[in-house]
C-alpha cells in the first residue's frame, strides 16, 4: 500500500501547526497530571518492592476471567469500594478503557445518552460506538440537560443517561453535579461522572466532587489512577449488579489481559496516602490559588480555581510559540491545539502539581505575564 496518504496527512498537520511528536520530559513540571506528586512517593515504591518479594507477579498473565484474576486486584477493588463509598468497584487498565467500556456495554438500543459537549474523547468515542442514541448538551448547562431529558422521556421508554466530567481536563471548570444528580433522579436517568482530574484532589476528603453522591444507585463514577494517584488504571465505582454485568458482558474487559497486579498494589497504597497525608491537598490548593489569582490579572479564567489553568491564545502557531519560549526558560508548559480543543481556542494548559514549589509557580507567572504583555502590545 502506498504511503502517500500518510505523507500528505502528516504534511497537512505540519502546515496547520498541529503535527505532534513524542519527547522526554524536561524542565519544571507544569504539564503532567501527577497533581499530588505521588509518582515518586517512597511508600508506593516500597509497596511494589514488598509485593515482588512476597511473590506478586509483574503481569496478570491472562484475562481476569481466565487465570489473570489476582488477590491484588480483588484487594484493591474491595478497598476502593469502601474508600469511595460505592457498593462495588472494578479495576480497569486505563481511564480511556473504563469510559469506553461503560458506554459500549451498559447502554442499549432505545436508550439515549445526554453528554456534556466538552466531554473527554474516551467518553465520546464510547458513546459513538454504543447502540444508544446520543445528544451533546451545552457545556455545564444543567437547565439544558433538564430540558433535553424532559422532552425525550415524554415519548421514549428507554433508559436515559447523563455523562459528564466532574472537572474538565482542558478548562479546569467543574460540572454542576448536585443539579445534575437531582435531574437524574427526576427523570430516572443514570449519571456517569468521570472524576479523572478530581480524584485525590477535590471533594471534602479527596474522593472527587461526587463524594456526597456516592451511595446513589444511579451513579457510576470513574476514578482514574494515573493522575493524582500517580499510578495507572481506573476504577469503575458502581453497584454490585453493574460490576457483575460488566464482568459478564464487557468485551474490553473479557478479552484483555488483566492489569498488572503490582499496579493494583500501588493504587491501593496511593488511596491510603490520600487519607494519611491530607496536607498534600492543601499544599496543592495554595499553588493553584496563587497561580489563579495572578493569571486573573492578565487573562480571564472560567469558574473557581483548580489545578488546571487554561491560557487561551486562539491561534495554533501562537500557542506553540509561547510554549517554546516558556520551555526555553525551563518551564515544561505544553500547547494544546485542535482537535483536542475547539477551533480557535488553542491554549497553554498549565497543570499545577506538587512536583514544583510555590517559588517555581511565581516564577512561571512572572514569565507568563511578561510574555502575554509583550504579545498583546504588538
Pairing of strands 160-165, 219-224: unpaired
Residue 355: HSE in the Cβ half-sphere, 13 Å Cα cutoff:
25
Give the β-pairing of 28-29 and 88-92. unpaired
Q: How far apart are the C-alpha atoms of 313 and 111, rounded to whole Å? A: 39
Number of H helices, E strands in the chain: 13, 12
Active site includes 169?
A: yes
- The residue annotated as part of the active site, out of 197, 202, 223, 243, is 197
* Catalytic site includes residue 188: no
Catalytic position from the list 165, 173, 211, 332: 165
Taking CA atoms, 19 is separated from 6, 59, 377, in Å, by 12, 34, 29
- 79, 84, 90, 96: CA torsion to nearest 10: -130
Based on C-alpha coordinates, what's the Rg of the chain?
21
Catalytic residue among 169, 181, 260, 306: 169
197 catalytic per annotation: yes
**222, β-bridge pairs:** 194, 236
Q: Strands (DSSP E) along the chain, which ranges? A: 28-29, 88-92, 112-116, 133-137, 160-165, 190-194, 219-224, 234-238, 308-314, 331-332, 334-336, 346-351
Q: Are 364 and 326 in contact (CB under 8 A)?
A: yes
What is the separation, in whole angstroms, between the first and last Cα of the chain?
48
**120 has catalytic annotation:** yes
Catalytic residue, candidates 227, 243, 268, 292: 227
Q: Which of 34, 77, 171, 194 is catalytic?
A: 194
Question: Do 207 and 84 form a contact (C-beta atoms < 8 A)?
Answer: yes
The three cell numbers of residue 274 are: 490520600
Catalytic residue ranges = 33, 120, 165, 169, 194, 197, 227
Amino acid at each position: 500500500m502506498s504511503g502517500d496518504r500518510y505523507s500528505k496527512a502528516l504534511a497537512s498537520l505540519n502546515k496547520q501547526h498541529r503535527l505532534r511528536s513524542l519527547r522526554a520530559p524536561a524542565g519544571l513540571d507544569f504539564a503532567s497530571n501527577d497533581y499530588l506528586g505521588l509518582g515518586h512517593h517512597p511508600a508506593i515504591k516500597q509497596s511494589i518492592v514488598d509485593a515482588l518479594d512476597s511473590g506478586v507477579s509483574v503481569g496478570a498473565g491472562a484475562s481476569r476471567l481466565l487465570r489473570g484474576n489476582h488477590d491484588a486486584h480483588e484487594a484493591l477493588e474491595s478497598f476502593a469500594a469502601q474508600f469511595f463509598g460505592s457498593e462495588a468497584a472494578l479495576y480497569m487498565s486505563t481511564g480511556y478503557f473504563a469510559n469506553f467500556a461503560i458506554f459500549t456495554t451498559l447502554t442499549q438500543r432505545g436508550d439515549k445518552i445526554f453528554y456534556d459537549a466538552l466531554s473527554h474523547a474516551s467518553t465520546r468515542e464510547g458513546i459513538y460506538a454504543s447502540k444508544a442514541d446520543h445528544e451533546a448538551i451545552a457545556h455545564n448547562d444543567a437547565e439544558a440537560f433538564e430540558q433535553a431529558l424532559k422532552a425525550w422521556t415524554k415519548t421514549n421508554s428507554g433508559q436515559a443517561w447523563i455523562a459528564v466530567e466532574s472537572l474538565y481536563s482542558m478548562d479546569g471548570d467543574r460540572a454542576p453535579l448536585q443539579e445534575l444528580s437531582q435531574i437524574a433522579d427526576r427523570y430516572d436517568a443514570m449519571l456517569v461522572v468521570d472524576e479523572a482530574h478530581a480524584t485525590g484532589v477535590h471533594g471534602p476528603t479527596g474522593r472527587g466532587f461526587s463524594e456526597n453522591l456516592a451511595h446513589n444507585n444511579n451513579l457510576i463514577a470513574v476514578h482514574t489512577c494515573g493522575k493524582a494517584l500517580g499510578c495507572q488504571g481506573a476504577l469503575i465505582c458502581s453497584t454490585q449488579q453493574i460490576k457483575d454485568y460488566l464482568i459478564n458482558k464487557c468485551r474490553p474487559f473479557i478479552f484483555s489481559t488483566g492489569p498488572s497486579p503490582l499496579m493494583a498494589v500501588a493504587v491501593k497504597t496511593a488511596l491510603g496516602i490520600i487519607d494519611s497525608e491530607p496536607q498534600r491537598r492543601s499544599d496543592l490548593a495554595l499553588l493553584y490559588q496563587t497561580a489563579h489569582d495572578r493569571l486573573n490579572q492578565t487573562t480571564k479564567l472560567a469558574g473557581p480555581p483548580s489545578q488546571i489553568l487554561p491560557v487561551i491564545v486562539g491561534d495554533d502557531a501562537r500557542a506553540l510559540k509561547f510554549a517554546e519560549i516558556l520551555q526555553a526558560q525551563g518551564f515544561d508548559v505544553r500547547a494544546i491545539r485542535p482537535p483536542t480543543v475547539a477551533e480557535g481556542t488553542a491554549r497553554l494548559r498549565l497543570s499545577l502539581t506538587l512536583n514544583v514549589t510555590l517559588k517555581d509557580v511565581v516564577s512561571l507567572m512572572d514569565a507568563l505575564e511578561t510574555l502575554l504583555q509583550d504579545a498583546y502590545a504588538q
